[in-house]
Amino acid sequence: MKMDFLSKFPPSILLISLLGLSGCEYSFTKLDSDGNAIYASSKTWSCLLDNNTGLTWEKKDVGDALRSQNWTYMNTSVLNSDDPTLVADNGACIDSEVDGDGIFCDTESYVAAVNSSEYCGASDWRIPTLYELSGLVRCNKGTILEINGTVFCNEESVVPVIDKFYFPFTKSAYYWPTWDEDEEDDLFRVQFGLIGLPESAQLSDANHVRLVRGGP
């Protein structure tokens, strides 16, 4: 795993994202299927507004519907790749043969499908940036590991390393951020199943996706 990505994060924000300590606690508002705020005690909700960042996050589902926790997707960048070994639907997602309106298992197609459904009353969902996605990491039980001044989730931290109350059905696995080949030398993915920090990825990888909307 390369450590160069740490330069992309302001140190104070990196610590806030990983530690979840007092003064830096998560603050979310549950939203209904139309994107309206509902009571914090509600047992069901459709998406989540991060009150600290203003971002609204996708909530995954169980089962085999469009936003299932189980599906994986190839990075959109593969669509513009000249490598003939990379296939656009190399992930495992909703089956078009069964459903009739399935999608290719790549990030671009998934974003288009969710936006077409007007999920939570919106059609501007997108793949989060590396910075945004890493901001969801939480070292459960507050356990941390520091190596050369860099803070990670300790191996004893409960996985997935995310607030499981607000983000149920999160896989202890890799999730895709966006990738801009003009600005970044490496392709990363965020691991919610171990230490919670980005790791190098390949275009041929099939990883999970959690969409976001809002922000600058």
Where residue 7 falls among pLDDT bands split at 50, 70, 90?
low
Output phi, psi for 198, to 5 deg: -60, 145
Encode burial over 32-57: b for 16+ CB neighbours within 10 A, e otherwise. eeebeeeeeeeeebbbbbbeeeebbb
pLDDT at 82 > cutoff 70: yes
pLDDT at 98 > cutoff 70: no
User: What is the model's pTM?
Assistant: 0.83
- Greater confidence, 99 or 33? 33
pLDDT at 10 > cutoff 50: no
CA count, 13 A, side-chain hemisphere, 136: 37
Rounded Cα–Cα distance for residues 146 and 106 (Å): 35
Domain extent listing, the chain: 4-213
